[in-house]
Amino acid sequence: MKKNKSLHIDTEALSTLALVKAGLISPVEGLMNEAEAREVDESKFYKGVPFPFSFILSPTGKRNKEVLQSLKKGDIVDLVNYDKKVGELIVNETFPVDIQKRLHNIYGTNDLSHPGVKNTMARLGEIAVSGEYTVEYPLITDNTKRIQNMITKTGAKHISSMMLAANPFNRAHERMIRQAISDADLLVIFLRKPFTSEGLRYDIRYNSLNTFIDNFLPRNKVIIIPFENSYIFAGFNELILDALLAKNYGCNQLVIGKNHGGLGLYYDKNRLSTVFDLCRNIDIDIKTVDEYVYCDTCKTLVSTQTCPHGQHHHVHYHSESIMKLIQSGVIPPPILVRKEVSANILAALFPERFDNLQELYYSLMPGSGLLEQQSEEQFYMKLIQLYQTSSLT
């Protein structure tokens, strides 16, 4: 029996292939051939719906290149991920890829100093293959079932969504979530799960977000879905892809902050209006929310659009700066990050940080007098309460 040839793909490619096969980036439901790819790259549309660049498979590597060069129409190829067969592809055609042009289509630049360009450059090969394929990737199937089960269980009609990195989860995120659930029956939070190791681990971000949802929000109003945002979501057109994904998962609305990567970071005002014009063709309501800050005069979180006080009264929720505190082991002030969330993150990030934790706990903290085992999370909670004690400050 003749053995199939193999193409080796990484998990990022597998995840994206599965996402498309499940219809979650519809109307794109498969790999594009050369003519389709060229048309999409030029028009930025596919079947009347905005799509910023062609969807192709062009894995890198010497072994893959040799296989791609040898393929003929009708060949069946095994798709292999870390030595495990995860799918099959029936070859339609192979065609050359202009790597520099593709990088520019995705990111708006092919400058290698751009982290996305650098990462994607290492993954792109010079030859693409098209054809019908099947892949196995349980995470995507599980996500779809969980959302549908939640909709059935709650009877939700108006389903809102947001894409969140929560890196780290802060008070401004809380305000956005509360605002979103006040207008919806159900909020789906797509928690970004990148294929890079930057920032907090996914499990830490998931647990900190879940701590807030479980303890401070009404039950059955929010569901967290892991969202493996591969390179196709990392470009300057990510808002279009986010909108398509949310719609195909069954959401009626996508809530975004005005500092979303697809808005303020990359777009001027003319470009911004173009993005919203394009998203109108996707049939999902896109709602923008103002930037939130803490005002030391208002003494609360406020929108920059409604607070009458100047910038010098505002504390900004700058994720990178809050992250630097956390990575240094410093507890962020509770006006930046809720103490329950800070305790959860720090306990996970610095396990067994303190020698003789129990002794330290009973030396510093008021208590009932009963000697009970205290966790690191409980220690941080009590420590934050001491920081908040104000009689001697």
Q: Residue 24's pLDDT is what?
A: 93
Instruction: Count the neighbouring beta carbons within 10 Å of the beta carbon of residue 144.
Output: 17
Give the residue ranges of the chain where pLDDT is below 50.
261-273
- CB-based contact 278:240 (threshold 8 Å): yes
Q: Residue 254's pLDDT is what?
A: 92
Q: Residue 183's pLDDT is what?
A: 87
200 forms beta bridges with none
- CB-based contact 127:68 (threshold 8 Å): yes
Q: What sign has the CA pseudo-torsion 63, 87, 38, 110? A: negative
- Residue-wise pLDDT for 185-237, tens only, equals 999 999 999 887 778 999 999 999 999 999 999 989 999 999 988 877 766 67
Q: Residue 270's pLDDT is what?
A: 44
CATH superfamily, domain 139-292, is HUPs (3.40.50.620)
Q: Residue 277's pLDDT is what?
A: 62
Give the β-pairing of 84-96 and 124-135.
antiparallel
Q: Residue 1's pLDDT is what?
A: 54
Domains of the chain, residue spans:
6-136, 139-292, 351-392
In the numeric block, the tokens 């890829």 are attached to 97
Q: Residue 206's pLDDT is what?
A: 96
User: Is 3.10.400.10 the CATH number for 6-136?
Assistant: yes
| CATH topology identical between 6-136 and 139-292 | no
Q: Residue 267's pLDDT is what?
A: 40
Q: Where are the beta strands (DSSP E) in the chain?
A: 5-8, 45-46, 49-50, 57-59, 76-81, 84-96, 124-135, 159-164, 186-192, 222-227, 253-257, 285-289, 292-295, 300-303, 314-316
- Residue-wise pLDDT for 27-39, tens only, equals 999 999 999 999 9
Q: Supply φ then ψ for residue 218, to 5 degrees.
A: -60, 145
Q: What is the reported pTM?
A: 0.88
Q: Residue 238's pLDDT is what?
A: 79
